[in-house]
Structure 1
Amino acid sequence: MIYEADECILVSFFIFTAMKKIRIYHIPAFIEKIIVVVSFLLVAIGSFSENFGISALLEDILIVGGFVLLLLYQSRVWWFKNYVEWNKKQIYLKLGAGKGIKLKFATLNSCILQKELLLIKLKNGETISISIKEYNRSEVQKLQLLFMENIIDKL
């Protein structure tokens, strides 16, 4: 089958736009600690409101607010399909609709980018392979660079 020039451009446009984007977020460890502490304080103040002279309605709002804050923060992994979150100690990968993988950088040995696979080798000899054929190549390269920078820092 012979394609005209316009058809080739159209076909390559659809192939290019079909590539999935990976959302990469750097979340410092102190943010998680702040959210946990604020949630704990809201629940504690709401629970022991008799000591502070708080009304029953405000007590309920504080308790529910503390739990909702924690729930929203922990549910962020279900908001996106292709999601990577990292801090200086660990990385959480959720590529596709399946469940995610949490890896500590201290346990990683190397990261190899192949044509359709991202191979992550652990220090215990185990290898994790992630299919990357449906993802934007520049996003996968950013992910590999992120792995390599943090693996080198932990050596």
Structure 2
Amino acid sequence: MKRIHFIRIDKNPLQIILLIVLIIAMVISIFKPFHLENPKIYKYIYITGMFLMIVVNGQLFWFKNAVQWNKKGIVIKLNAFFKSTSISFNHISDVELTDNTLKISRHNKKDSTFDLKDIEPSDSKKIFDIINTNRIVENSTFY
């Protein structure tokens, strides 16, 4: 059984630190606020910033099975290297988890079906739980 790599975007402190360092490196390399004897240092800072950008944004492409989410939506990539499906939580009307499939129904009548036959059952359940806890249910009353 294959495992899914889960990446939560908004609560990862390492990713937030990398983004801050990335922004600082890019600002320093573009505006060059310091007078340095060796101007090639700005090139190295720029290359470091670009490398950090690849590390932060490329996590989804490192794994064949990955799920990336925050409070607004989810990106699901299963059994593929480049094809992924991005779904906003407020567009989800219903979610069904059967033995080998995950079916996500949307308000605009576009359904997404994912094949889970080689996926670990605990990971399938985790995707289902992530979607159910984050989706916005229309006409629901919260107490």
Which TM-score bucket, shorter chain as reference?
0.7 to 0.9
- Cα distance, 1:29 vs. partner? 6.8
1:118 to 94, 98, 102: 102
Alignment of 1:66-85 (within 5 A): 66-85=49-68
Per-residue Cα deviation, 1:81-118 (whole angstroms, up to 9, x for no partner) = 11111111111111112411111111111110122211
Rounded Cα–Cα distance in structure 1 between residues aligned with 2:5 and 2:128: 14
Q: Does structure 2 retain, via aligned residues, the 8 Å contact 1:110–1:151?
A: no
Rounded Cα–Cα distance in structure 2 between residues aligned with 1:30 and 1:78: 18
Other structure's SS at 2:122 match: helix
Per-residue Cα deviation, 1:59-96 (whole angstroms, up to 9, x for no partner) = 11111111111122121112111111111111111111
Normalising by structure 2, we get a TM-score of: 0.82
Alignment of 1:87-126 (within 5 A): 87-98=70-81, 99-126=83-110
Counterpart check, 1:128 vs 2:112: yes
Counterpart check, 1:59 vs 2:35: no
Other structure's SS at 1:115 match: coil
Q: Percent identity?
A: 26
Number of residues paired by the alignment? Answer: 136
Q: Does structure 1 retain, via aligned residues, the 8 Å contact 2:66–2:76?
A: yes
Q: Does structure 1 retain, via aligned residues, the 8 Å contact 2:7–2:69?
A: yes
Normalising by structure 1, we get a TM-score of: 0.76
Rounded Cα–Cα distance in structure 2 between residues aligned with 1:65 and 1:128: 38
In structure 1, runs of 5+ residues without a counterpart are 1-18
Q: Does structure 2 retain, via aligned residues, the 8 Å contact 1:119–1:130?
A: yes
Q: Which has the higher helix share?
A: 1
Name the Cα RMSD after superposition.
2.3
